[in-house]
Structure 1
Amino acid sequence: MVLPLVDLCAKEVVSDHSSSPGWLGCVPRELYRPLLEAAFTNCRPLAVGELVQRWPERTLRVGGQRRKGQSPPNRLCVQALLLAVVRGLADKRCALQMLDLCGLQCEEGGVGDPMGGWSLTVALCTMVVQARAGANRALRREGERERKRVLAMEKGIDPVKRERGEKEEDGGTPQARMGTQNEGPEEGTETSACRRDEDQVKGVRRRMEMERRGGCAAGPTGSTVGENAVAGPSADSEVVVCVHADLFINARSWERVRAALGVVGPLRLQCRYARVEELSVSSIGSLLDLLPRRALMGVDIRYSCLGVVGLATLLPQLSLFPTLTSLRLHYCNLDVRRDTPDQEEAMKCMSHGLGRLSQLRRLSLTALRLPGHLRKLLSSLSLPLEVLELPYLSLTPADLSYLSCSPHASSLERLDLSENRLDESVLPSVRRLLSQASGRLTHLSFSGCGLTDDLMVALLPSLACCRSLRSLAMALNPLSLAVLQDLVRMAVRMPSLRQLLYPNPLEDYQPGLPPKPTSAQLLDWPLDEMVAVHEATGLQLDRVLAESGRSDLVLTCDLLNYDVDLGQE
C-alpha cells in the first residue's frame, strides 16, 4: 500500500524527537491528526504525549478508526496518551473536551505489545482518580496562596493605620499638615476610609469565592452518576473532559472501576460496552447503578453464576438504559434442564425483562442450556434481532421450527448455531430459516453441528441462496473430501463470500474414528501424521479455487485463528 504524501511527511517529522520544539509551536491544527496517527503507527510515545497535551480540537477519537490490517496502538503510546490527557487539564493550549477510546483495546499478548481490555480499564480508572486527586491538590494550593496573600495584605494595612493614628495625634509632619490643608478638612479622611472599605469588600469577595470552591471540592465523591442520581451544578462545572471507553470489569478491577465511576472530577468516565467476568449478581447490579444511562450500548456477562433468578433480577436494571442494543451472556449457569423451585416463574420474569429492552438488536446466549425455551425468550422482544448467537444451547426441533417462522428470521445479519446437533428432523426448519434470512444474512456458523455428507448435500442449495453471505463457518463437521469439494465449489459461486472455515475431511484423520463422530471427538482425534495427506487436500481445494478465478476468497481450516470480522469490507 502506497502511503499519501502527508503520511510520509508526518512519519519523518515524528521520528526525530529532538526536533519537536521546533515544529510543535507552528504546526497547523489540521496536521495534528496525521501526526498523531504517524506517532501511533511508528511507536513514538513522546510525540503522542506532546501532541495530545496541546490537542487543538474538542474531540479526539483513538482506536475505533483503524485501517484494515493496521495494528492497534502500542502499550507505551496508550500510556503516554493517558498521561498527556491529565497534563492537558492544566495546559491552556489544550481544547480537548471529549476523548473517545472505544475499540482501542484488543486481546492480551497481540502483535506489537498492544494494551488489552483489562489493562486499559485499570489504566483509565487510575487516570480518572489521579486527575481528581490532582485537582484537589491544585485547589488546596490555590487556597493556601490566597490565604497567605490575604494575611499579607492585612498585615500590611495594620502598621499604616497605627502610623496614621499617631501622626494625627501629634499634628503630623509638615508635609502631612500641608496636604491636609490643601485637601480640605475632610477630604483626606474620606479617601482613606474609601480605600479601607474597598479593601474589605475585596477580601470578603475572595473569601466567598474560596468558600464556594471549597464547597465544590468537598462534594460527595462516592455518589452515583447514573441518571437517577441528583448531581449539583458544582459537580457538572468541574468536568473538563468526558472519556468514552469500553470497560473490562472482573473481580480484580471491580474496586478500581467503582472508584472511577463514582468520583466527580475533571475527567468523567463514560462506558459504551461493559464486559463483566466472574462477578456476583449484587456486584453487577451495583455496576449498573454507576453507569451513565444514555452512554451504555452493550453488556457482555461471562463466567458469572447468574442462574435464571439472577438474570431475571438484572434485566429490569438493564431496561433503564435506553441505548442498550446488545446483550451477551456466556457460560452464566442458566441450565433449566434441572428442576428447581420457582423455575417456571423465573423464566416468565426473564422473558418479561427481555421484552423491556426496547432497543435490543443483538442477543448472544452461549452454553446456557435452554432447550425448548427459545419461543418464550424471543417472542417477548419488541424489535426483530439483527444478530443472534446461540452456540451450545441444546436447541430442540421445536426451537428451530419457531426460529424459522419468527419475525427475527428475515432481519438476521449474523446467525450462529454452532454446537447444536442437527439431524434429518430439523432439516426442513433449517432450510426454511436460511430461505427467510437469505436477503440480509452476512455471517453464518454451522460449526460442530454434526452435519454428515447426506445432510450437507441437502443443505447446499439453501446455502447457495444466501447471496449476501460474507463469512461461512463449517468446522468440526464429519464430511468426506468429495462433499468438502462440493462445499468449496458452492462457495466460489457466491460473489459476496470472502471467508470459508472448512472442516478437515475424514480422510485426514488417523483410523479409528466412530461412524458419526461428534465435534469433541473430531477436535481431539489426531490427524494423519503423513504430510502428503494434508498437502493433497489443500492442493485439491486450491485447484477448485484457481479454476473459479476467485482470488478474494480465503479458505482456512485453522479454527483457533479464524476471525469472523475479516470478511468485512
Structure 2
Amino acid sequence: MWSGASSYGCSSSPMAAVAEPRSTTKLHLAPLKVFVDLCLKEKTLDNFLTYFLRWVEQRESSVHLCCKKLKIISMPMDNMVKVLSMVQLDCIQEVQVSCTWNLSTLATFAPFLGEMCNLQRLVLFPVHMSAFKKQEEHHVVQITSQFLRLDHLRDLHLESPSFLEGCLDQMLRCLKSPLDSLSITKCWLRDSDLTNLSQNPNISQLKSLDLSCVTMTDFWPELLQVLLEKVAATLQDLDLDVCGITDSQLEACLPALSRCSQLRSVSLCGNLLSTAGMEKLLRHTAVLPCLRQERYPAPQESYRPRGVLLEARLAQLRAQLWEILRDLGHPRIIWISLSPCPRCGEDVVTNVLADCRGPASAESRDILRMDDDVGE
C-alpha cells in the first residue's frame, strides 16, 4: 500500500480553479516494498515467480522486492542470479542453501552473500571440491572474505565444509561479531583448525556448538578442553556425536565440561566410551544445574568385537549406571544410543535412566525397560 499526497501550487484568485497553475510541485512517493520469502527449487522459474518478477522488473523505480528468508534447493546459477539481482539483498536475514554445489558455484554466489549486510543466519549444505585443491584456493578466499561484510551474523551452520579443512582460520578471522550458534559437521578438521576455533574471540559467547561427525580420533584432547573453557559461561547445547572420542580424551575434557554452568543438553552418541568412562562423565555432569537432556552411547562392553549387541550385558550395565545416578541423587533423564540397531542397521535410541532420587518405582522400571519394537 502506498501512502502519500500530491500538492500543486495555485493562485488565490477565484479564476484559479479553471486556469492551469503556473508552477507545479509534486511530492515524490517512496517505493512500494513487497515482502516475499523466496524458495528457489525449480530448474526453471515457475509461472507465479516468472510473472511476479516480470511485474517487479516493469516497476523497477517504484517497487522494491524485499525478502527476509531465502532458501535455495535447486536452481541453475543463471536463473538464481537473475532473481537475486532483483532483490533488495540488504533485507535478507536468513539464507539456507540445501543443494549440493561445487566450490566454484559457491564462489559465484559469494558476492551476493556479501551484499546481505543484515544477514543473521546462514545454513550451508555440502560443497564438493575437485581433487586439485590448489586450483581452488582462490575460491576459498572469495567465499570467506565475504564474511567481513556480515556484521549481524549470529548463527552459522556448515555441513560437510571440506573446503575449510586446514584453513578454517580464514573464515574465522573474517567474522565481524560474536556468534550465538556454530555448527560445523561431517568433515575433517585438523588440530590447527581446532586451535584457531578455540582462540577466536567471536566464539566466546556461543550458546550452541555442534561438531557432530567431525573426526577427532587423533586430536589432542587439550584442544577441546580449551574450546569448552572458552564457552563455559554461555554454552547451552553441545553436540559431539560420532567424533571418535575415547575415554582418555573425554576424561581430559571433563573438568571443562563440568564448568559449563548453563548447559541444557549434551550429546555424545556414537563415541567409544566404556562403562568406567561413562561413570566419570555422569559424576561430572551431575553438578550442572540446567542440564535436562543427555544422550550417550551404549558402553563398549555392550558389544562383541564385531559390534554384535549383547542385550543381557547391556541390561546389566544400564542397571549399574542407574545405581550410580541414584547415589548421586540428581534427578535427570538420560538416553542411551545403540548404533547400529542389531535388527535393521539404523541408529536406535532408548530411554534408560529417569528420576533417580530414590528406589526404582514400577513406573521408572518401565522406563528402564528396552521395548521389543525399538528400531523397527
- 2:115 pairs with 1:298: no
SS in 1 for 2:185: coil
Paired residue type of 1:463: L
CA distance in 2, matches of 1:439, 1:352: 30
CA RMSD of aligned residues (A): 3.2
Which of these two proteins has the greater Rg computed from alpha carbons? 1
The offset of 1:375, in angstroms, is 0.7
What residue is the counterpart of 2:122 in the other structure?
A: 327
1:555 is matched with: 335
1:425 deviation in Å? 4.5
Alignment partner for residue 539 of structure 1, among 316, 319, 322? 319
Partner in structure 1 of residue 185 of structure 2: 391
Query: 1:390 aligns to what SS in structure 2?
Result: strand
SS of the residue 1:472 aligns to = strand
User: Match of 2:80, SS?
Assistant: helix
Give the total of aligned pairs.
309
Paired residue for 1:255, among 40, 46, 54? 46
The amino acid that maps onto 2:76 is S
Please say if residues 242 and 269 of structure 2, whose CA atoms lie closer than 8 Å, have aligned partners that are also in contact.
Answer: yes
Shift of 1:479: 0.8
CA deviation after TM superposition for structure 1 residue 400, in Å: 0.8
Counting only pairs closer than 5 Å after superposition, residues 163-562 of structure 1 correspond to structure 2 as 236=32, 248-251=39-42, 255=46, 258-259=49-50, 262=53, 271-305=67-101, 307-333=102-128, 335=129, 338-340=131-133, 342-369=135-162, 370-423=164-217, 425-509=219-303, 511-513=304-306, 525-528=307-310, 530=311, 532-551=312-331, 553-557=333-337
Any idea what the Cα deviations from partners look like across 1:258-290, whole Å, max 9, x if unmatched?
Answer: 34752759xx99643333223333343334334
Distance 2:165 2:275 in 1: 33
Say which SS state the counterpart of residue 377 (structure 1) adopts. Answer: helix
Contact 2:66 2:89 in 1 (8 A): no
Q: Distance in 1 between matches of 2:45 and 2:205?
A: 37
Query: For each residue in 1:77-127, what CA deviation from the matched residue of structure 2 results, as whole angstroms up to 9, or x when unmatched?
Result: xxxxxxxxxxxxxxxxxxxx9xxxxxxxxxxxxxxxxxxxxxxxxxxxxxx
SS in 1 for 2:249: helix
Q: Which amino acid aligns with 1:345?
A: H
C-alpha separation in 1, matches of 2:216 and 2:315: 30
Give me the whole-angstrom Cα distance separating, in 1, the residues matched to 2:45 and 2:187: 29
From the superposition, tell whether residues 492 and 284 of structure 1 become closer, same or farther in structure 2 (CA, over 3 Å).
farther
Deviations 1:307-341, CA, capped at 9 Å, x for gaps: 222222212212222321111111121x37x3256
Return the letter of the residue paired with 2:260. Answer: C
Distance 1:526 1:251, change over 3 A: farther
**8 A contact 1:325–1:361 mirrored in 2:** yes
Q: CA 1:484–1:322 in structure 2 vs 1: closer, same or farther (change >3 Å)?
A: same
- Cα contact 2:274–2:299 (8 A) shared by 1: yes
- How far the C-alpha of 1:537 sits from its partner, in A, is 3.4
Provide the rounded CA distance (Å) in 1 between the counterparts of 2:139 and 2:72.
22
Report the counterpart of residue 20 of structure 2 in structure 1: none
User: For the structure 1 residues 408 and 452, does the alpha-carbon distance in structure 2 shift closer, same or farther, using more than 3 Å as the test?
Assistant: same
TM-score by length of 1: 0.49
Unaligned runs of 5+ residues in structure 2 are 2-27, 57-63, 340-346, 350-376
**Counterpart contact for 1:419–1:446, Cα < 8 Å:** yes
Query: Percent identity at matched positions?
Result: 25
The C-alpha deviation readout for 1:369-398, integer Å capped at 9, x for no partner, is 131010111111222322211112311011
Counterpart Cα distance in 1 of 2:168 and 2:48: 35
Contact 1:361/1:384 (<8 A) preserved: yes
Distance 1:397 1:415 in 2: 17
Q: Secondary structure at the match of 2:214?
A: coil
Against the structure 1 CA distance between its residues 527 and 250, is the aligned structure 2 distance closer, same or farther, given a 3 Å change threshold?
Answer: farther
Change beyond 3 A, Cα 1:480–1:464: same
Q: TM-score, normalised by structure 2?
A: 0.71
Change (3 A) 1:482 1:276: same
Contact 1:327 1:364 in 2 (8 A): yes
